[in-house]
Structure 1
Amino acid sequence: MRIHPISLFRTVWRKINSKLFYKMVILYSLLTVIPLALVSTTFYLRSKSIFETRLLESRSHTLVETSDKIDFILKAVAENLEGYADDRVMISVLKNDRVPSTGEINLAERKSLESNLIAFLNFVLTNTDLGINYIDAIYLYNEAGKIYKTENATDPEFHLALTVLPFSQRDKPEWAFFVDHSRLVCSIQIIDYTTNTKLGYLSVMLKPEAIKELYASYPEGSFFITNNRNVILSAGNPESVGELFQARTSKQIVVNKRVSLYSGFVYFNVVSRSELYHEIIQLGRFAAWTTIASLGVVLLLTFVLLKRVTGPLRKLTMLMRKAEKEVFVPIKGIRSYDEIGILSESFNSLIAEVRDLIDKVYKAELYKKDAEIKAIKMYMSPHFLYNTLEIVGIIAKSPEGIKVVPEMVQTLSRILRFSITPGNDFISLKTEVQFVQWYMQLHQYRLGERLTFTVQVPEELLSVKVPKLILQPLVENAVIHGISQIMTTGHIEVLAYELDYDLILEVRDNGGGVTRQEEPGSIVETKDFTQTEAINEKKGLGTGLNQLETRIKLLYGARYGLEIIDTAGEGAVIRILLPMTFTEG
């Protein structure tokens, strides 16, 4: 059977046009000019070796100069710190902190010493060239953890880490292997040489911006200061501080490294290959232009084919980058049937599916969650107001109680003003505790000596941020379902403490124990904060606690919530687990 040449050509062309591999074979065949390839390769390798050696030597010399400049500043700071460590006022304060009776310092003298100490630290910071230009803050720590610091100094993050510094020489300062608020830390032990005892630590923290100025001539992202474990201590990009420096050895970058013999820091200079071979690229372009005349036809054909092949790929790459930023645009104008056409169709299908998921699932879940939180907030205020007014009404019926009604009304006005004031839904734990104390005072008016209460909240937790009106339902439950059910004196205790970097709030009472109800949707008694699923037959204490449980989980997730502990008829304990977050300021 004879095959027509035109039919054969169409068959072969269809085969080639359907496979990207065949297109690239044709392209590379057209570009294979052996003499030019040999000359260009020899020229490139020789020039590459020369320029690479020259640039790396230049970069290495620049790195030495920069590291010496930084080490000079670090050494100056350390030497000044060493001189400050012998300050008489500082040692007197620390000795008195260690043994309060030392030197028989009275309260007035103590205040005067502390005032002089702070003035000394502020003087160092504001009246020395190093302080003005490089030092961000100065801190003095005694052995008990108390901190003296310069004016407007940020609270340190990791002052306890100073205790694990090796301090190879007790009377010499040492640069820390960590940063505090992105600041380099230098610390020295304060020693009482008369008793050979350690009194505390004096630490200086440098301004991150001032250190960056020392290597500002480097392109962004090309200079890093790390510790000996490659943890980044200073870099042009603040977000990279604290991360592990990756000294990549791929063809894309070259790394120059120098270890400081003084501070122990490691200085890295990252050089991109594009910058390294900039000059050789220029020479390559010059060589290419000399061959354009003889290869004009080949280059024209190559341009046409490359544009046809890489154009859709560039367009698809651009749209994929937009998709990474949640801008979903389908690709258009692709009419080929090869791998690019298949990839484009798959991309368009993926974009359509993502849009559908966003519209039908993601947005729907956000609306649902927002509606649930608003519903809970709408419930909380009238529920609390009703119960509070009921207490006032009961007390006002007795002749003795009518005398305290004005005080109760004043307390009630404070409670109402707090509960209905619009604004932030999150407040400090200190404010929430104050509100609960007002609330329990109202119940004391009604129950008299039958109710006592205590609040135990450490001072360092008073600034923790909590949802508004989170303790009131627990206290209300303890009064109504606990204290009101017994004839003896009832006691309510409110506690707060930290556990595994989470905040625990507890309300304890010595009432009649947990009241068992068959209330669908109430809270499960559990010893595990991660068990949060609701079932129909559970131990419940009312709708208020159920709403509080739902509110916490909507705000923070399923890991957080309530835990109810029955103490076998001798009272009850209700705990709340919240993440540890602090208010600003």
Structure 2
Amino acid sequence: MINFRSIHGRLFLIFLFCMLGLLLIVSFVYYQRATEQIRDKMSSVAEKNISQTAGLFDLMLKGYDSVTKSLNSNNELMKLLRDPSSDQTVEGVNLERRITDILGAIFYSRNDIVGIHIVTNRGKVYSFDRSVGATVRDHSEQEWYTRLQRSTGEMIWLGVYPHSLMSGGIEKSVFAFGRQLFELSALKSVGIVLIETDADAIVSALSNASLGPGSNVVIQAADGVEIIRTNPVQSDRDRIPLGWPGPLKTGEVLMTEREDAMITAAGIRTADWTVIGITPTRDLQLELRETQRFLLSVIIVLVIAATALATLVSRSFSSPFKRLIQQMKQVELGNFKGQVRVHSYQELNVLVSSFNRMVRQMDELIERIKLASISEKNAQLQALQSQVNPHFLFNTLDMIYWMLDERENDRLGKVILSLSQIFRYGSEWEEASRAPLRRELEQLRHYLTIIETRLGGRVHTEFEVEERWLGIEVPKMCLQPIVENAVKYGLEPLDRPGLLRISSRERDGKLEIAVEDNGVGMDEETLERIVHALSGERVSQVADEAAGPERKGIGLQNVHSRIRLLFGESYGLSVRSRLNQGTAVTVTIPIPPERG
């Protein structure tokens, strides 16, 4: 929190208020101008949309009109409709089939036609629709039929109905229209044609005139009857003013504005209809709201920028004091290496110099104490190391070996020599933490020499490691703990000779070294605990519990952790085992690129 009684706080407030005042004035002027421009733009868009929608309907209705004219101008169809052949004769059946074939050809010429129906003056109905295809049936007079009968050949646009007028299986909205059919040679009526199209095409065309989700578009006939509207009437806002807009000329667009809505209208000359768009004020203000949100976002960004700039200016005066406070907090946390560098007021410079001098003296004192402690620990370690000299142990074992060799005790000599090599290999950690796979396997052979001698030949070992992998470096002592586990807990309890196999294989760019035995194995619960532990828990503890309370040595945790530290998380150990069948532990390490 800023302390407004300080120099930093006072300067911050003055600078911030000046910038915010200028920002508010500019924002208010911009908002007024943007409001006027958006209003003019919306009026222009509304007029353009309603005019385009009227033109679209003209084209659509002309297309429907051409369909009915194509029927009236089909001489073959007119001749067939005039033919009074009996329906019970073969000739009558063929006549009906030829008529429905003509209707079917026109039906499939357009995708939006739902049904085509011809009612002859004899009351016979020939239909082709989506529900049943081609049909012939009788007809009873309805209101729409009377309208078509009273016409004199002009197109009659009946309007939109909730379901088909002639087809019982079509329960969706349809747009119906028709006319009387005349034989052109005799100018005599032969019946009427009724065509039903999908009303979705009408609704889709009306949606072009919509300016927003709340807009309502209406088609009104010349007598003021509504043909269709996109949304039902929900309030007085959706009602059209009585007597408005009146007759419109071709291409003429009218517009009126009310408190709650803007109304536009344009004429559809093909059907003597008027398309009227009613757009509520809230939809007209959508773009204005976008402008408001944009302006608000800009104001917020500028306020943040002004605050940051005010903070920067005020902090330039108070930063020397803050740097001194920050360094004092670092000293409290134990960091004595930092120094405060300030060139400011004379009194502050004296304070900073005294503080830096005090921190240096404290750091020197702490370093002296640490050096004294380290010297004492080193002396203790040297005293402990001098008690057991590894080289003395190597020399003693070599001496025993040569004494046994002179007495021709080869078996015991090999054991002593192997033990000497094991001690020597294990004590060379100062050279490196890795060793070639060749040396690691030699170490295993020395170890197995002792084991095979101790077990009296009950364990047989096979090495199946390819020559090309012997030069790859592996973590030192990574295989012996695994072999030790296999011998002690897998092969020793056997009442039969055991087999231990050490093999290698390449898989997915990785080298896998497998240590397999045919010993007693592990049950599923023990194996599951070890595998779960290798995924991230305390592996050594779980493995020790699985193996028994007497387990000693480096353990699986050591080997697994060292491999992952050296090569990454995707490498390490994996264990497979089945009770009374054996156990397999796989060491996975990367293959160097030059050997891949």
Q: How high is the TM-score relative to the length of structure 2?
A: 0.35
Q: Report which of the two structures shows the higher radius of gyration computed on alpha carbons.
A: 2
